[in-house]
C-alpha cells in the first residue's frame, strides 16, 4: 500500500493558499522570527541546490511557527542580470519577458515543494517599483559623498561585454563565463565601501551566529594591515614619493625603491630624459598584459631603472628608483621601499639587478652577512646598521622609528586596507539605471527625486555589441534638470549585487509606496534571525549586504548595524558523473545497467562532484517530484547529510526515505480505528505504557533540540527510530491506557515530522480527525521525567575495559551501584587476587574499577 502523494500534495498546497495559512502581518505584540533563504536568479528552472536550500529554510520557518513565533518567511527574485540579456540577443525575446516567464515557472516549482512562504511579499528586483528605491538611495548616497565617478583601469570581460568588480574576477577569469579578463580604461561609478572597512571588519568579531570560515574569508578580503607611510624625496626633482610599508623597522635597509607601472611618477620621472623611450616601452609592455599572466604564480620579476634616485630619509643615501612589474597600483600607494635583506621578493630583485643588500635585523645570537644569504630573513631579531635604533628588538623599532618619522615630519603611522571601493557601473541594459544626467554646462546632475524611477526603455536593440541603452534615443536624450539644455542620461546600470544588498529589508513591507520600506515594520522584523544560502556568497553578497545596511542606517532609514543574526552556509549537492567514449558526459537517465542508452558503450563512472549542467550529473526536481513527491524530495535532502556539509545524491537513499514515509502511512492507516477512538483511561503503571511514554518524550526532546541546533539529519533519524519502536510496540497493545498513549504518540510524531514532510502530515492529521491545519498546531512539549528510563544499564569497566553490564534503578546511589559491580560474578573474576585501588561512578553511565 502506497500513499497517493500527487493527489495529497496538490490538495494541501491549494488549501494552504486558499486559507492564507502562511500569511504574516506586522504585529508588535507577537514575538517575531525572520527566516530567510537567498533568493534565486530566475534562470529558468530550479535545481537541486535550491531544493536543498529551501527545504532547510522551510523546516526552520515551520518549526518556529509551530513554536508560536510570528514568522516572516519570504521569497522573491534576483531578477536583473546578464543571462536575460544574452537570451534577448540569441532568441530576440525581451529580457523582461524572458525573466517574468521564468519567474512564473519557478514560482510554480517552489509551490510544488510546499514551502511555507508568504507569497504576498514576493518581490522581483527588475520591477521599477523595486528599483526606484535603489535609485533614491543612490541619490542620497551621492549627496552624502558615498559615491563618486572616476576613470580607472577596470577588469573587462570581452564575452560579457562589461566591467567586472574585483570580486567578480576568479583566477583572472570572469566569474560568470570564465572568459579571460582584460584591462580597460573606463569611466565608472564607485561606492565608497572603504569608508566602512573598519566597521565591517570590527563587526566580524561580533557576528557570533556566523560560521568562522565565512568571517575569516571576509577578514582576509578586507585585509587590514598596520604600518607607516613614508615620504622619499627625489634627487634633483621637486617631488616626493610616498610609500606604504608594514615594516618601518627595516627602513635603514631600504636600498632601492619600486614603482608600479601605473604609478603617476613612473612616467613623470623619465619624462624628457634618455630613459624615456625605453621606459615607456617597458611600462606599456606590462600594462598590456592581462590580469592572469601578470599575476601568474611564479612570474619573473622584471624592473626598469628610471635613472632617478631618491634619498633614504634615515640613511640619507641616494637609492635608485625602478619601475617593477610586481608592484600593485591599487594596494598601498603603488610605491614600495625595497628592503632586499628582509623581503624575499626584493631579495630576488636585488640579486637579479645586482643591487645593494643591507642587513638591519639579526636573528637572536646570529650575524647575517649579505654575501652569504640565499634568501631574505623575514623573522624577528635585533636591530643593526640602524643608527640610534641599534640593539633594540625590531618589534620595538617599528614603533620607535615610526614615532621618529612623525617627529621629523617625513612619515606617519597608517592603517591600510586591501578592500577597494565597489565599482558598480555595468555597461548593460538589464539592470537598474543609474539616476544621473550629464550636462555640458552643469556637469553631473542627479535626476530629481520626483522623476524616479528612471525606467528602462523599450525601444532598444539587442545586437550583442556595446551597451543597448546607448541605442535608445528616448532614454538617452533628456533636458538638463538644472539649466534645461540638451543633455545625456547616464547609460550605465548598476551591478546586480546592489539589488540583493537590501531585498531582505524590502520584504518587511514589500508594498510600501512611500519609502524604500516602512521603518517601523522593518525594525520589528529585522534582523534576519536565520539566513541560509550557499557559501559561494561568503564574500561578495554578504559583504555588500552588510555594507548597504550600514549605509541605510547612516542615511537614517533604519536603526540596525548588521542585517543577519545567524548564517548557515549549506553544502553543495553532488553526484557521481557518467560518461562514455562516444557521447561524452551522460545524464543519469541515459545510463542503463552500466551501458550508454545512446550507443550501447560501457559507461565510465566518474568521481562525485557538484551537480552541474555541463557534466550532466544532475537530477531534475520536476522529475523527482513526479516520481516520489515533494515530501520525499525534501526529506532526503534533509536526511542524507548535515545541512552545512556537501550532500551526495543517491537514488537508493531517496527510495529509503520514500519507504519510511510509507511505513508511517501504513502504521497510521492500520491503526485508524484506534486513532479515532476517544479514550479516557486512568493512569496505569504498565511496562508497555511507560515504554511508550519514554519513547514519545525522548523523541520530542531529541527532535526539538536537534532542529534548534540545525542537526536536521539526526532529527529525522530520531523519528525513524521512533517509528521502528512503534512498530514493535503495536502488536503488544492491550489496555485502553496503552492505546491512548500510543495514539498520543502517533499524533505527536506527525507533528514532529510536519516541518519536514508537511503535505503528508496534513493528510494524516485530517485522517485522524484533526481540525484545521497541522501546520498551525502547537509544537509538542516533553516532560523531562519521561525522557529517562526507569532502569538504566551501567557498564562496568576494569582497568578501562568494559567487562560487564548491570541493570539498576535510574536513581541508584553510588555505593549501591559499586557494591553491585564488585559482587558481579564476572567482575569478581577480574578482581580476584588483585587490589582495588580506585572506584569511579559516572551516574547513569558506568562504573570504573582500577585494580593492581
Partner RNA sequence: GCCGGAGUGGCGGAAUUGGCAGACGCACCGGACUCAAAAUCCGGCGGGCUAAUCACCCGUGGGGGUUCGAGUCCCCCCUCCGGCACCA
CB of 717 to RNA, least distance (A): 3
Which residues, in sequence order, are bridge partners of residue 601? none
* Beta carbons of 338 and 327 less than 8 angstroms apart: no
DSSP 179-211: PBEEEEEEEEEEE-GGGGHHHHHHHTTT-TBS-
Residue closer to RNA by CB (options 455, 819) is 819
Residue closer to RNA by CB (options 462, 665) is 665
CB of 325 to RNA, least distance (A): 6
Residue closer to RNA by CB (options 87, 764) is 764
CB of 28 to RNA, least distance (A): 35
Which residues, in sequence order, are bridge partners of residue 318? 311
* Grid cell locating 131: 528599483
Burial class for 191, CB neighbours closer than 10 Å (0-12, 13-18, 19+) = buried
CB of 86 to RNA, least distance (A): 24
CB of 194 to RNA, least distance (A): 13
CB of 520 to RNA, least distance (A): 38
d(CA 161, CA 154): 12
Residue closer to RNA by CB (options 144, 659) is 659
Which residues, in sequence order, are bridge partners of residue 486? 479
Burial class for 785, CB neighbours closer than 10 Å (0-12, 13-18, 19+) = exposed
DSSP 265-326: HHHHHHTTSTTHHHHHHHHHHHHTS-HHHHT-TTPPP-EEEEEEEEE-TTT--EEEEEEETT
For residue 435, CA distances in Å to 398, 490, 498, 606, 646 come to 48, 7, 14, 50, 42
In this structure, the number of other CB atoms found within 10 A of the CB of residue 799 comes to 13
d(CA 553, CA 559): 5
d(CA 517, CA 514): 8
Residue 720 has phi, psi (to 5 degrees) of -60, -40
d(CA 738, CA 558): 56
d(CA 434, CA 488): 12
Residue closer to RNA by CB (options 337, 447) is 337
Residue closer to RNA by CB (options 44, 829) is 829
Residue closer to RNA by CB (options 299, 440) is 299
Residue closer to RNA by CB (options 601, 609) is 609
CB of 823 to RNA, least distance (A): 17
In this structure, the number of other CB atoms found within 10 A of the CB of residue 592 comes to 10
Residue closer to RNA by CB (options 436, 761) is 761
CB of 659 to RNA, least distance (A): 4
CB of 239 to RNA, least distance (A): 20
Residue 368 has phi, psi (to 5 degrees) of -85, 145
Residue closer to RNA by CB (options 299, 441) is 299
CB of 808 to RNA, least distance (A): 11
3-state helix, strand, coil in the chain (%, to 5): 40, 20, 35
CB of 206 to RNA, least distance (A): 18
Residue closer to RNA by CB (options 149, 418) is 418
411-417 vs 224-234, strand pairing mode: antiparallel
Query: In angstroms, how far is the first alpha carbon of the chain from the final one?
Result: 62
Listed residue (6, 25, 50, 12) closest to 619, CA to CA: 50
Q: 572: helix, coil or strand?
A: coil
Listed residue (66, 40, 72, 70) closest to 54, CA to CA: 40
CB of 796 to RNA, least distance (A): 9
CB of 831 to RNA, least distance (A): 13
CB of 613 to RNA, least distance (A): 18
* Beta carbons of 172 and 292 less than 8 angstroms apart: yes
CA dihedral 25, 27, 30, 34 (to 10 degrees): 50
DSSP conformational letter for 432 = P
d(CA 206, CA 209): 9
Burial class for 175, CB neighbours closer than 10 Å (0-12, 13-18, 19+) = middle
Residue closer to RNA by CB (options 59, 79) is 59
> What b/e readout covers 419-453, taking b as 16+ CB neighbours within 10 angstroms?
bbbbbbbbbbbbbbbbbbbbbeeeeebbbeeeebb
Residue closer to RNA by CB (options 272, 800) is 800
Residue closer to RNA by CB (options 399, 724) is 724
CB of 216 to RNA, least distance (A): 4
Q: In Å, how far from its chain's centre is CA 323?
A: 39
CB of 235 to RNA, least distance (A): 22
Residue closer to RNA by CB (options 106, 703) is 703
* Beta carbons of 658 and 3 less than 8 angstroms apart: no
Residue closer to RNA by CB (options 599, 728) is 728
Q: How many residues does the chain have?
A: 852
Residue closer to RNA by CB (options 343, 492) is 343
* Grid cell locating 296: 601568474
Listed residue (49, 55, 57) closest to 504, CA to CA: 57
CB of 245 to RNA, least distance (A): 3
CB of 339 to RNA, least distance (A): 7
d(CA 502, CA 551): 11
Residue closer to RNA by CB (options 125, 394) is 394
For residue 437, CA distances in Å to 385, 399, 427, 477 come to 59, 49, 16, 10
Amino acid at each position: 500500500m502506497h500513499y497517493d502523494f500527487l493527489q495529497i500534495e496538490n490538495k494541501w498546497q491549494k488549501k494552504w493558499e486558499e486559507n492564507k495559512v502562511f500569511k504574516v502581518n506586522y504585529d508588535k505584540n507577537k514575538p517575531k522570527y525572520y527566516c530567510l533563504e537567498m533568493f534565486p536568479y530566475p534562470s529558468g528552472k530550479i535545481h537541486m541546490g535550491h531544493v536543498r536550500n529551501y527545504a532547510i529554510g522551510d523546516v526552520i520557518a515551520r518549526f518556529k511557527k509551530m513554536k508560536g513565533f510570528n514568522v516572516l518567511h519570504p521569497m522573491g527574485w534576483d531578477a536583473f542580470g546578464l543571462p536575460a540579456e544574452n537570451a534577448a540577443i540569441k532568441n530576440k525575446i525581451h529580457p523582461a519577458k524572458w525573466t517574468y516567464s521564468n519567474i512564473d515557472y519557478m514560482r510554480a516549482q517552489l509551490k510544488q515543494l510546499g514551502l511555507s512562504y508568504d507569497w504576498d511579499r514576493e518581490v522581483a528586483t527588475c520591477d521599477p517599483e523595486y528599483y526606484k528605491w535603489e535609485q533614491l538611495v543612490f541619490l542620497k548616497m551621492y549627496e552624502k559623498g558615498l559615491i563618486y565617478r572616476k576613470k580607472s583601469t577596470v577588469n573587462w570581460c570581452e564575452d560579457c561585454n562589461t566591467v567586472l568588480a574585483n570580486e567578480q574576477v576568479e583566477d583572472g577569469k570572469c566569474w560568470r563565463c570564465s572568459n579571460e579578463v582584460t584591462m580597460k580604461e573606463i569611466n565608472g561609478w564607485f561606492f565608497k565601501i572603504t569608508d566602512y572597512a573598519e566597521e565591517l571588519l570590527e563587526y566580524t568579531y561580533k557576528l557570533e551566529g556566523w560560521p568562522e570560515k565565512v568571517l575569516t574569508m571576509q577578514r582576509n578580503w578586507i585585509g587590514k594591515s598596520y604600518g607607516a607611510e613614508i615620504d622619499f624625496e627625489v634627487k634633483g626633482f621637486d617631488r616626493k614619493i610616498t610609500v606604504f610599508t608594514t615594516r618601518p623597522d627595516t627602513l635603514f635597509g631600504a636600498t632601492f625603491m619600486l614603482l608600479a607601472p601605473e604609478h603617476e611618477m613612473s612616467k613623470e620621472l623619465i619624462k624628457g630624459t634618455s630613459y624615456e623611450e625605453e621606459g615607456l616601452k617597458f611600462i606599456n609592455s606590462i600594462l598590456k598584459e592581462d590580469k592572469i599572466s601578470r599575476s601568474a604564480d611564479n612570474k619573473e620579476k622584471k624592473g626598469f631603472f628610471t635613472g632617478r634616485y631618491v634619498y633614504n630619509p634615515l640613511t640619507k643615501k641616494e637609492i635608485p628608483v625602478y619601475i617593477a612589474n610586481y608592484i600593485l597600483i591599487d594596494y598601498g600607494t603603488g610605491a614600495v621601499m625595497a628592503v632586499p635583506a628582509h623581503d624575499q621578493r626584493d631579495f630576488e630583485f636585488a640579486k637579479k639587478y645586482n643591487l645593494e643588500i643591507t642587513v638591519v635585523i639579526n636573528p637572536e645570537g646570529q650575524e647575517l652577512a649579505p654575501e652569504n644569504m640565499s634568501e631574505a630573513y623575514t623573522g624577528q631579531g635585533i636591530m643593526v646598521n640602524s643608527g640610534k635604533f641599534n640593539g633594540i628588538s625590531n618589534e620595538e623599532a617599528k614603533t620607535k622609528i615610526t614615532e621618529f618619522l612623525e617627529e621629523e615630519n617625513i612619515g606617519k603611522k597608517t592603517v591600510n586596507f586591501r578592500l577597494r571601493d565597489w565599482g558598480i557601473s555595468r555597461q548593460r541594459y538589464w539592470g537598474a539605471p543609474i539616476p544621473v544626467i550629464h550636462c555640458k554646462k552643469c556637469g553631473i546632475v542627479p535626476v530629481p527625486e520626483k522623476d524616479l524611477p528612471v525606467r528602462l526603455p523599450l525601444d532598444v536593440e539587442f545586437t550583442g555589441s556595446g551597451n543597448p541603452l546607448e541605442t535608445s534615443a528616448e532614454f538617452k536624450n533628456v533636458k538638463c534638470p538644472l539649466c534645461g539644455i540638451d543633455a545625456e542620461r547616464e547609460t550605465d546600470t548598476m551591478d546586480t549585487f546592489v539589488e540583493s544588498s537590501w531585498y531582505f529589508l524590502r520584504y518587511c513591507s514589500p508594498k510600501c509606496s512611500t519609502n524604500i520600506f516602512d521603518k517601523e515594520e522593518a525594525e520589528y522584523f529585522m534582523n534576519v534571525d536565520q539566513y541560509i544560502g550557499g557559501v559561494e556568497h561568503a564574500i561578495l553578497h554578504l559583504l555588500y549586504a552588510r555594507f548597504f545596511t550600514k549605509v541605510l542606517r547612516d542615511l537614517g532609514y533604519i536603526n540596525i548595524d548588521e542585517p543577519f543574526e545567524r548564517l548557515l552556509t549549506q553544502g553543495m549537492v553532488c553526484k557521481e558523473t557518467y560518461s562514455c567514449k562516444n557521447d561524452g558526459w551522460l545524464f543519469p537517465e541515459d545510463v542503463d545497467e552500466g551501458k550508454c542508452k545512446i550507443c550501447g558503450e560501457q559507461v565510465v563512472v566518474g568521481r562525485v562532484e557538484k551537480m552541474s549542467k555541463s557534466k550532466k550529473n544532475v537530477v531534475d526536481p520536476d522529475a523527482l517530484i513526479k516520481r516520489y513527491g515533494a515530501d520525499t524530495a525534501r526529506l532526503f535532502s534533509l536526511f542524507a547529510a548535515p545541512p552545512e556539509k556537501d550532500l551526495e545524491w543517491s537514488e537508493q537513499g531517496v527510495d529509503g526515505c520514500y519507504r519510511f514515509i510509507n511505513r508511517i502511512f501504513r502504521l497510521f492507516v492500520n491503526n485508524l480505528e484506534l486513532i479515532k477512538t476517544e479514550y479516557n483511561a486512568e493512569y496505569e503503571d504498565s511496562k508497555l505504557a511507560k515504554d511508550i511514554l519514554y519513547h514519545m518524550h525522548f523523541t520530542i526532546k531529541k527532535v526539538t533540540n536537534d532542529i534548534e541546533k540545525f542537526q536536521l539529519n539526526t532529527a529525522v533519524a530520531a523519528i525513524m527510530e521512533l517509528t521502528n519502536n512503534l512498530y514493535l510496540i503495536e502488536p503488544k497493545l492491550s489496555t485502553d491506557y496503552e492505546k491512548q498513549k500510543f495514539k498520543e504518540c502517533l499524533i505527536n510524531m506527525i507533528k514532529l515530522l510536519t516541518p519536514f514532510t508537511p503535505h503528508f502530515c496534513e493528510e494524516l492529521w485530517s485522517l485522524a480527525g484533526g481540525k484545521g491545519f497541522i501546520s498551525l498546531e502547537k509544537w509538542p512539549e516533553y516532560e523531562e521525567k519521561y525522557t529517562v528510563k526507569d532502569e538504566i544499564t551501567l557498564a562496568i569497566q576494569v582497568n578501562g575495559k568494559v567487562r560487564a553490564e548491570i541493570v539498576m534503578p535510574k536513581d541508584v546511589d553510588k555505593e549501591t551501584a559499586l557494591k553491585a559491580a564488585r559482587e558481579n560474578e564476572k567482575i569478581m573474576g577480574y578482581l580476584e587476587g588483585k587490589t582495588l585501588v580506585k572506584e569511579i561512578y559516572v551516574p547513569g553511565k558506568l562504573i570504573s574499577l582500577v585494580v593492581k
